[in-house]
Amino acid sequence: MADVVVIGAGATGLACAHALHRAGVDVMCVEGAREPGGIMRSGKVGPYLFEAGPNTIPASATTFRTLAHEAGIAERFQVSRKEASLRLVYRGGTLHPVPMSPGDLVKTRLLSWPAKLRLLSEPLRRMRPIASHEQEPTLEAFMRDRLGREAATTLGGAFVRGVYAAELSELGARSAFPRVFHLANDAGGLVRGMLRARKQREATPQEAAPGPPTQRGDLLSFPGGLGELPLAMARGLTGSLLLGRGVVELERGPAGWRVSLEDGADLQARVVVLTTSPRDAHGLLALATPERVDLDPLLSLPTGDLTVVHLGLAQARVPPAFGFLVPPDQRPEDGAPRLLGALFPSNIFSGRAPAGHATVSAIYRTSPELEAGEGAALRTALDDLERGLGHAPGRVEAHRVDTWRAVIPRYGVGHVERMDALHTALRRAMPGLVPAGTWTGGVAIEDRFKTGLAAANEARRLLTAPREVPA
């Protein structure tokens, strides 16, 4: 018997269990995989360090920094190198720096002059406010309105591929990027919103975050990769973390919850926090919830399958940059790379490769071509990197291929409203259930940590509230 059972030991589940454990709550965290962290896993192939999932977290991510401090590893923070500030976009057979200032925008060859003028006029074109009851625009419509068609495709389309592995038309502006949308909506435009946010930030005293001093735009990791944090949090949950023991069934009874594991064991809990993927959550809830609760929003939520081909290169020839992205209008039949983008992790942090060598991670939507074996994936990545760079990236000394199924939910138009309605129905029908999976709260790692802490607070509230009877 535990007060709370947290299902899933990815970033969300670990943050939730960590917070509950620190608060003295009797918690058990259960995970089907044999390692904690979900996609936050780091490992070496020879002298090369590869990240299975994200490579960096912004230094402004205070929740991440606080959790690292509480886990006892804040002194191990690595701050990104200056090369990480240069971001590149492939267009027209070559790589272009992303313009970071009006002066850069004037000089760039990434956009045509009409596109530049349209983009520079954004502060002068006041945005029509969209009321909360109105249907949100697609991210494509929102960006085209604010940036113009060409800049929306080239800059916005490339950026969204890097975050969601999706296209602009597949996402809702308010659902996928709520902070950016509300800044623009409240202030009357993107630039107006950013200027207002900067004034508010400068006027508000900022509490020093744990770890080293950093500047705006810096990125963080650890010498052993981002996987150090989930491992550290898992160590703090000794006796409260079950790995390699997946959940196969949930059942709600008068005394609380029964959580059945694949090895035949049962756990009893007053509160269950569910942090799995949308489809796994649907499978667990389908038999536990009353028929009147519509679980289709979980089952029908689009998700992306990703394949990442990691390369450890000798005689490396990669530009001194963070990496490059490929906009959606750059076609492989015209010679463009087929990948979504590529990262150069050894440029971002030290210790990823020996001196004079490099690590490169080529990111794809999973396809049969990439699933034909590691050899086929390696050949595809080398060909695409040569297309993007204009030359061979180097000699391969080490490689690894990671494939993730249904790893990034795509928050389309109306997503937030659908999830709010689902959560309201679940709270009424299934008291003591806290939904906190990747279908809610954002897809970035910092968002997942925040969602986990919010779930821990909700679980503690439920433990002290009067016992509820399902509606």
User: Do 291 and 419 fall within a single domain?
Assistant: yes
Residue 64: inside a domain, yes or no?
A: no
pTM of the model: 0.95
pLDDT of 467 reads 67
Token pair belonging to 437: 């999976």
306 and 287 both lie in a single domain:
no
Side-chain-facing half-sphere of 46: CA atoms under 13 Å: 16
Q: What is the pLDDT of residue 203?
A: 86
Residues 385 and 421 reside in one and the same domain: no
Do 425 and 276 share a structural domain? yes
Q: Tell me, what's the pLDDT at 205?
A: 80
Partners of residue 45 on adjacent β-strands: 48
Same domain, 12 and 50: no
List, for the chain, all residue ranges whose pLDDT scores fall below the cut of 70: 467-471
Q: 């002290």: which residue's tokens? A: 464
Residue ranges in 23-112 assigned as alpha helix (H): 62-70, 102-107
In DSSP terms, 307 is beta-bridged to 364, 403
CA-wise closest residue to 362 among 328, 389, 329? 389
Distance CA 215, CA 238 (A): 36
Residue 323 sits at the vertex; the CA angle it makes with 320 and 328, to the nearest 5 degrees, is 145
CATH number for the domain spanning 351: value is: 3.90.660.20
Residues 398 and 438 in one domain: no
The Cα–Cα gap between 447 and 457 comes to: 15
In this prediction, residue 201 carries a pLDDT of: 86
Is the same domain home to 351 and 383? Answer: yes
β-strand partners of 434? 273
Q: Looking at residue 114, which CATH number applies to its domain? A: 1.10.3110.10
Q: Is residue 95 part of a domain?
A: no
Q: Residue 235 has what pLDDT?
A: 97
> Is residue 419 located within the same domain as residue 289?
yes
pLDDT on residue 105: 94
Q: 174 and 136 in contact (C-beta within 8 Å)?
A: yes
- Rounded Cα distance, 394 and 318, in Å: 8
First-to-final CA distance of the chain: 25
**Tokens linked to 457:** 């607070």
Domain that holds residue 13: 2-40+227-301+410-464
| pLDDT for the residue 471 | 56
**Burial state string for 439-458 with b = 16 or more CB within 10 A and e = fewer than 16:** bbbbbbbbbbbbbbbbbbeb
Whether residue 322 is found in the same domain as residue 281 = no
